[in-house]
Amino acid sequence: MVGSQPLRRPLITPQRLLLSLIRLGSLLALLGIAILFAQQWRSTLPVAPVELRLRAYLPINGGWVNAEPLRVESGQPVRLHLSAVEGAHALHIAHTDITSAIISPGSPQVLEFNAPAPGRYVLACTLWCGLDHWRMRTVLEVIDPTDPHAPLQYVQDEPRYTLPMEQLMIDDPHPADVWPEGPAHAADGEVLWGVLTGDADPAAILDEAGWPLRSPSEVYQLLERGDLLADADTISAQDRWALLAFLWEMKIGEDALARGESIYTQECASCHGVDGSGNGFESARSPAIEPDLRLAPSAAGASPAQYYAKIARGGMGTGMPNWGTFLSETELWAVTGYLYKFLFDDPVDGEIPASEHQH
């Protein structure tokens, strides 16, 4: 008899192959899950904040001074160390609600925040700290981590009105056809409004007149023709101006006017004067002459859109700063509205200077 040969089984059977494949598959799946978990866990770890430093000098000595560039990634936690070498200041990051407490030589501050959406943010001093206070600005650059080389725009609010900017000609004189000969008191206008209309909505009248693209002089003429309001053509010129002053105030709103006044006092009066005359104590330093905002033949011809556009953009080398990158849309309209107080409350007659430029 021939010895029986041990039965040779093939090394790879279909069953074994299947088993190994299943093992490999589950191993890979486990690995995948583990990686996912690790990523999850890492994202919950606190990211170390970027430490930035700003030192404050008086604006005439350089204002904000920073050693390293103020550049961060959107979403990144930031610790901004603020110290004052001289003067007392406060910092606001425009178009955000990030604001510091008062920074003075004995009292540094640390401002902690997460970097906002990508863009260039104006950092400005919100405390009146001396001559050239409005120059106390610097810029924080927030880059998009997914597209770090994308060009950065100055952050500004959505405009409230669509303005035909190319037609506004904001650097040209704006002579009026008609203007008030004496103070036009909104309180008198309110009485007349009650007599003429009962309880209609005064702001709606100005909307119908095309606010903010119409100047007081233009709206006055619509009232004079009886186009906007029945019987507004029958009252005296002085009463009509008072009525217009009331409508203007109602359109801007009491709260906005109060906000506008405080912005004006803090940011504008140093050049334009508390009384709007243009004789603020810093006015002599501007390359161009500040217009007299009470000068009725000129001011009555300025539409709110024209004032707004000038305030938002600033003058081109005239010394009138740019405010659009700093004030919010609401604040821009509030201070625009406030400027008409000078026209209505204290109109001055006179020639419009041939050129507002050069001292």
Give the interface with ligand HEC as residue ranges (CB under 6 A). Answer: 134, 263, 267-268, 270-272, 282, 286, 288, 290-291, 298, 302, 307, 310-311, 315, 318-321, 323, 335, 339, 356
Q: Which is nearer to ligand HEC, 193 or 340 (CB)?
A: 340
Q: What residues does 55 pair with on adjacent strands?
A: 65, 83
Residue least distant from ligand HEC (Cβ)? 315
Q: Which is nearer to ligand HEC, 221 or 298 (CB)?
A: 298
Stretch that binds Cu ion, among 28-36, 124-132, 289-297, 311-319 (CB under 5 A): 124-132
The only residue of 89, 92, 95, 137 in contact with Cu ion, by rule CB under 5 A: 89
Q: What residues does 154 pair with on adjacent strands?
A: 120
To 10 degrees, the CA torsion angle through 290, 243, 165, 173?
Answer: -40
Q: Which is nearer to ligand HEC, 13 or 61 (CB)?
A: 61
| Interatomic CA distance for residues 83 and 105, integer angstroms | 7
Using CB under 5 A as the binding rule, the residues of this chain from 231 to 250 that contact Cu ion are none
Task: Count the neighbouring beta carbons within 10 Å of the beta carbon of residue 24.
Answer: 10
Q: Is the previous residue joined to 212 through a cis bond, with omega within 30 degrees of 0?
A: yes
The secondary structure of 240-301, three-state, reads HHHHHHHHHHHHHCHHHHHHHHHHHHHHHHHHHCCCCCCCCCCHHHCCCCCCCCCEHHHHCC
Answer yes or no whether residue 123 interacts with Cu ion by CB under 5 A.
no
Q: CB of residue 58 vs Cu ion: minimum separation in angstroms?
A: 8
Q: CB of residue 142 vs ligand HEC: minimum separation in angstroms?
A: 25
Residue 78: strand, helix, or coil: strand
Task: Count the neighbouring beta carbons within 10 Å of the beta carbon of residue 263.
Answer: 19
Answer yes or no whether residue 92 interacts with Cu ion by CB under 5 A.
no
Cβ contact 212:162 at 8 Å? no
Q: CB of residue 253 vs ligand HEC: minimum separation in angstroms?
A: 17
Residue carrying the six token digits 């009491």: 254
Q: Among Cu ion, ligand HEC, none, what does residue 136 contact (CB within 5–8 Å per kind)?
A: Cu ion
Q: Which is nearer to ligand HEC, 253 or 315 (CB)?
A: 315
Q: Quote the tokens at residue 119.
A: 């863009």
Answer yes or no whether residue 136 interacts with Cu ion by CB under 5 A.
yes
| Interatomic CA distance for residues 209 and 125, integer angstroms | 38
Q: Which is nearer to ligand HEC, 82 or 295 (CB)?
A: 295
Q: Among Cu ion, ligand HEC, none, what does residue 125 contact (CB within 5–8 Å per kind)?
A: Cu ion
Q: How far is CA 215 from the centre of its chain?
A: 23
Q: CB of residue 333 vs ligand HEC: minimum separation in angstroms?
A: 11
Answer yes or no whether residue 103 interacts with Cu ion by CB under 5 A.
no
Q: Among ligand HEC, Cu ion, none, what does residue 272 contact (CB within 5–8 Å per kind)?
A: ligand HEC
| Interatomic CA distance for residues 223 and 33, integer angstroms | 75
Q: CB of residue 347 vs ligand HEC: minimum separation in angstroms?
A: 14
Site size for Cu ion, by CB under 5 A? 4
Give the residues lining the site for Cu ion (CB under 5 A): 89, 125, 129, 136
